[in-house]
Every structure is written in structure tokens, then in C-alpha cells.
């Protein structure tokens, strides 16, 4: 099986690239495992000073892929909780990486893709990208990614987009702080390079302390996040096996409206 994640090193920068362009870099168990491992290695490598999270193809990430969704629908509650905890491990690994992180968002991001963006220290996006937290349309909620997304966009925006599941464009993502800058797609690499140049001129210990300072101010260091992960994984597991969650997943897979419409 071909690798779903590529890692490239250029000087002191590791670029971790999701490489499933044929399915818009959608999540499955293998991608989650490979991405978690690649990020952990980059974080532990003393030669790496910064990490860029990127994606191959037209999209950044479409969220869950169809086969992973079929597995969700078939799993019991305990299996769903274990599955959700693996996604939580990925998000926590990225969010608490001991290196500065930049999301390079060349295309659209949905669900877990939005979670990855929110976990990065800096997010730079194409002005043509679209975003969505569409889980509510399946009778679910973006539980596992919620701590990071709410931290990025705030409770007020989260209430709106978590409930509606509507899509929003790059200017809206910029206005509510999901991304830091938007630009034409052909200017994206230059913007990433400028951000990296600034980061590599800063003291590495100071950057790590700054990152941990922000976490401490908001009362969510890594041990606290692990406890929260248990709660969000349990929540999504319950919803996936609920009548509404089962109907939403089944309707989506069968390409029909759910019974609440």
C-alpha cells in the first residue's frame, strides 16, 4: 500500500504532506495513523525547527472518507470511542507539537480538515478555499476537534457553524480567525516562506515557551487536553450509535435525505 503521508526536509523545516488527492485527502484509519506518526517524528527531531502541514491536490482535506464512515456506522459504541480517540491523538499531537506549525491550505477543508487547521499555530489559505463543519447534517457534532476549533474561532462562531453545518468561504474564515491570511493560490508558497523566515529567526526555546504560555493561560495544557479527549470521544461514540446518528450516516451513504427532512 502506498504511503498516505509524505515528509520532506528542507534545511530546518519539515513539510508533512497528506497524499490522497484522489479522495481529497479524506481521513481514514491509515491516514490518521501515518499523519500522527509523521508529526511525532518531526516534533522529536532536534534538527527540525518548524513544521509545515500541507496537502496534495485540489483540496486540503475533505474530512472522513466513505469507507471510514461505513465503519463508523457498523461499529458499536466501544469501537467508535476507540476510533475517535485515535483522531484525538492526531489532533493533540499536532496542537502540542514542540515546534511552530504552519497550515498551508491550498483548497477546501471540511470536518477533521478544519480541526487540523485549528491545531496549527499559523494558518495560511488560498482565497478560493471553502470550509465546513458539516457533521450536524449527519446527526453528529464535531466533538473531537471542538476544543481546537472553539479556541480558534470562539464560542459565538462555533455555536453558529457547529449547529448549521453550512459552508463558509475564505474571507469568512479569515474574519473569524480560523485562518490568519488569505491570498491567491499562487502566492501561498511565498507567504509560507515569509512566515518560516520570521520563525527561524526567533529563539527555539522562546517559541516553545511562548506556545506553552498560551496553553497555560487558557488552562488547557496537554494533560488537561487528554482528559477532555476522553470526554469528546465518548460523546461522539454515543452519537454515532444513536438513532439519529445512525440515520444520518446511513442516509449519507445511501445518498438520500435523512428522515428529519
pLDDT tens digits along 245-260: 999 999 999 999 999 9
Domain count, the chain: 1
pLDDT of residue 82: 95
Q: Which residues are marked as active site? A: 135
Query: Using CA atoms, how far apart are residues 10 and 14, in angstroms rounded to an integer?
Result: 7
Strand 50-55, strand 13-18: pairing: parallel
Domain range spanning residue 77? 5-189+200-208
Q: In what order do the strands lie in the sheet with 101-105?
A: 5-10, 13-18, 50-55, 101-105, 122-126, 181-183
Q: Does 12 map to a domain?
A: yes
Instruction: Give the CATH number of the domain where residue 11 resides.
Output: 3.90.226.10
pLDDT of residue 73: 84
Q: Does 258 map to a domain?
A: no
Which backbone phi and psi does 122 adopt, to 5 degrees? -135, 140
Instruction: List the pLDDT tens digit at each of the 261 positions of the chain.
Output: 679 999 999 999 999 999 999 999 999 999 999 999 999 999 999 999 999 999 999 999 999 898 888 888 888 999 999 999 999 999 999 999 999 999 999 999 999 999 999 999 999 999 999 999 999 999 999 999 999 999 999 999 999 999 999 999 999 999 999 999 999 999 999 999 999 999 999 999 999 999 999 988 887 888 889 999 999 999 999 999 999 999 999 999 999 999 998
pLDDT of residue 1: 62
Close Cβ partners of 64 (under 8 Å, ≥ 6 residues apart): 26, 27, 28, 72, 111, 112
Q: Does 223 map to a domain?
A: no
Q: Does 234 map to a domain?
A: no
pLDDT of residue 120: 98
**In Å, how far are 38, 211, 215, 216 from 220, measured between CA atoms?**
24, 12, 5, 6
pLDDT of residue 216: 87
Q: Does 182 map to a domain?
A: yes
Q: Does 116 map to a domain?
A: yes
pLDDT of residue 245: 94
Q: Does 233 map to a domain?
A: no
Q: Tell me how many degrees the CA angle 132-134-135 measures, rounded to the nearest 5.
A: 140
Q: Does 255 map to a domain?
A: no
Amino acid at each position: 500500500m502506498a504511503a498516505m503521508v509524505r515528509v520532506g526536509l528542507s534545511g530546518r523545516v519539515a513539510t508533512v504532506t497528506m497524499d490522497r488527492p484522489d479522495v481529497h485527502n479524506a481521513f481514514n484509519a491509515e491516514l490518521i495513523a501515518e499523519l500522527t506518526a509523521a508529526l511525532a517524528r518531526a516534533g522529536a527531531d532536534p534538527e527540525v525547527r518548524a513544521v509545515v502541514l500541507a496537502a496534495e491536490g485540489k483540496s486540503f482535506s475533505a474530512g472522513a472518507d466513505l469507507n471510514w464512515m461505513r465503519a463508523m456506522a457498523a461499529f458499536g459504541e466501544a469501537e467508535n470511542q476507540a476510533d475517535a480517540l485515535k483522531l484525538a491523538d492526531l489532533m493533540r499531537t499536532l496542537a502540542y507539537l514542540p515546534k511552530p506549525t504552519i497550515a498551508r491550505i491550498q483548497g477546501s477543508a471540511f470536518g477533521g480538515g478544519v480541526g487540523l487547521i485549528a491545531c496549527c499555530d499559523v494558518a495560511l489559505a488560498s482565497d478560493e478555499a471553502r470550509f465546513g463543519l458539516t457533521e450536524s447534517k449527519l446527526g453528529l457534532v464535531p466533538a473531537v476537534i471542538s476544543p481546537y476549533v472553539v479556541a480558534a474561532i470562539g464560542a459565538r462562531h462555533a455555536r453558529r457553524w457547529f449547529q448549521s453545518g453550512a459552508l463558509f468561504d475564505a474571507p469568512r474564515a479569515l474574519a473569524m480567525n480560523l485562518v490568519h491570511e488569505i491570498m491567491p493560490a499562487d502566492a501561498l508558497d511565498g507567504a509560507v516562506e515569509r512566515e518560516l523566515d520570521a520563525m527561524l529567526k526567533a529563539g527555539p526555546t522562546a517559541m516553545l515557551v511562548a506556545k506553552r504560555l498560551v496553553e497555560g493561560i487558557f488552562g488547557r495544557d496537554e494533560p488537561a487536553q487528554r482528559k477532555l479527549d476522553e470526554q469528546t470521544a465518548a460523546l461522539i461514540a454515543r452519537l454515532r450509535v444513536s438513532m439519529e446518528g445512525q440515520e444520518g450516516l446511513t442516509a449519507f451513504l445511501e445518498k438520500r435525505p435523512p428522515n428529519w427532512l
